[in-house]
Amino acid sequence: MLCNRNIIIFLIFLVINVIDFASSIISPTSAATTNCPILDGASHLTQTELLQELTNECRYDKLMRPPGEINASDPIHVVCRANIYTIKSNMAKTLQFDVHMMLQFRYRDPRLRYANIAPGFTQIIGGQAANDMIWTPTVFVANERSSAIMGNSVKDLLLSIDPTGMVILNTRLEATLNCGMRLEKFPFDVQECPLVFESWTHNVHDMKLDWDESPVVLAKELHLTEYRLVEKWVNDTETSYTAAQQHYGHFAGNFSSISITFKLAREMGFFVMDYYIPSILIVVISWVSFWLHADASPPRIVLGTNTILAFMTLASKVENSLPKVSYIKASEIWFLGCTIFLFAAMVEFAFVNTIYRRKKNVPLKKVNSKYILKSTLTPRLARKQFQKNTTGLERSRSWSSLDHGNHIEHDYTSQNYLTVHSFPSTINIPSVRIEDNNEKEKDCSGSVETLESPPRTRKSFARRPTLAKLSNFTTMTPQQVAQWIDKRSRIVFPLAFIIFNIVYWSFIYI
């Protein structure tokens, strides 16, 4: 009888243990909750002790996001705000800029309410230790040079919790951000550099990032050295990732993203004072050679080469501070234009000096820019044309018939050479009377009519069109041509440089 009673008690005890074990497996949270101490009258606790009780493992899971404000399945909204302290720009060489800022994240966690259990507390304030106890949003900077989860590698972190469970997380950090720059108008470029924040592990169904009413606050003493802040604006969007990408450990889905875009305009005072104005002066100095004597080779050569070398040194200092890009920049167009003007001044000197040392005069049909340059560039062709016209004039004839056909009068105009040192030139061509062989056989009854008779003379001169055509020709000495080119260069070069500047600066500001 006693043995049966012991067996029954053992079976009942075994059944109770089995039921407890099964219930603990089916609902571990409820079992743990029943073992949690009830938080009532916790005003005697310190802030740290109160936070430890609120985040006790039996009632708080830091790996689980807070429930939504209306429904538990709704995503939690994290409101963000950025306080910008300093912006350091080194974008010209590295395409990056540094931002020192404080980020603020604000969200509500109902599990951290303590208004009823600890009415004496108005705020719980903590640092890194308090941050490790609770759930915090996992946000990273997408365009940072080395991305990191918020809360790591930060200088300061401050956490505050109000009695309603509103959590405000403030973190200060200095981030180096990438900025894809376009340098077509360098050094007068305007860049748009974003600062992008993205959710790390929670997609849009679990967490959304929103901007505060005043999303960006700039420090009053904010000052940039190379750029000036023209404008800023914020944006919120969603970023999609597939399972094949696994971007930064992301899961597949759409993730909330917010961004701040800084519109930065380069301060051009440095480049104007150290690059553009000196280069303009160097080009103007190269024009001094036009006022020097055409045969003064040493000073003109030294002036030309020194201006080119000085400009090359000036331009290389600017270009070495820029990244190597495949497209043409505005600074390179200016460099090319100034180089062409400096090189053209050297070529002008070589051309003038070569002409100055010539010995033969230059025949000209007319004294103007067209014929001077044409005859100077092609002197042999000009001389051939001149000789051709002269030969045609020598072979021209004026025939006058004698009475009864017995006497034939031939008028020839000949000239061996033509050299005129001042213009307009005049050509005196003598008339020569040449007797024909048939003149000896005169008719007895006929009489010889002389060439000097006024009617014949006027008629013969009226038949000389070649003489008027040749009278338009003149000559210039090589020294006169060289001086003429130098005088025209004093006007052409500055005028062309002014036109180049008008076109260049119009391109910059359009």
pLDDT along the chain (510 residues), means of 10: 59 62 46 58 76 86 86 89 84 76 92 85 87 89 70 72 92 84 86 88 90 89 82 88 63 86 88 92 94 89 93 86 81 94 93 84 65 62 52 44 40 37 39 42 40 42 42 71 88 96 90
- Side-chain half-sphere exposure of 45, counting CA atoms within 13 A: 18
- Side-chain half-sphere exposure of 130, counting CA atoms within 13 A: 21
For residue 132, how many other CB atoms are within 10 A of its CB?
A: 13
Quick check: 168 and 200 in contact, CB under 8 A? Answer: no
pLDDT for 178:
84
pLDDT for 35:
67
pLDDT for 277:
94
pLDDT for 406:
42
Query: Please, which residues bridge with residue 363 across strands?
Result: 475
State how far Cα 406 lies from the chain centre.
91
Give the CA distances from residue 154 to residues 129, 222, 375, in Å, rounded to whole numbers and listed in that order.
Answer: 14, 21, 79
- State in Å, rounded, how far the first CA of the chain is from the last one: 110
pLDDT for 146:
64
Residue 28, token pair as written in the block: 């571990």
Quick check: 99 and 84 in contact, CB under 8 A? Answer: yes
Give dist(CA 481, CA 375) in Å, integer.
Answer: 10
Residues ≥6 apart with Cβ < 8 Å to 28:
none
pLDDT for 162:
92
Residues ≥6 apart with Cβ < 8 Å to 324:
none
Q: Residue type at 243?
A: A
pLDDT for 409:
39
In three-state secondary structure terms, 497 is helix
pLDDT for 18:
57
Tell how strand 96-108 and strand 76-89 pair up.
antiparallel
For residue 420, how many other CB atoms are within 10 A of its CB?
A: 16
Sheet architecture: strand order including 432-434: 397-401, 408-412, 432-434
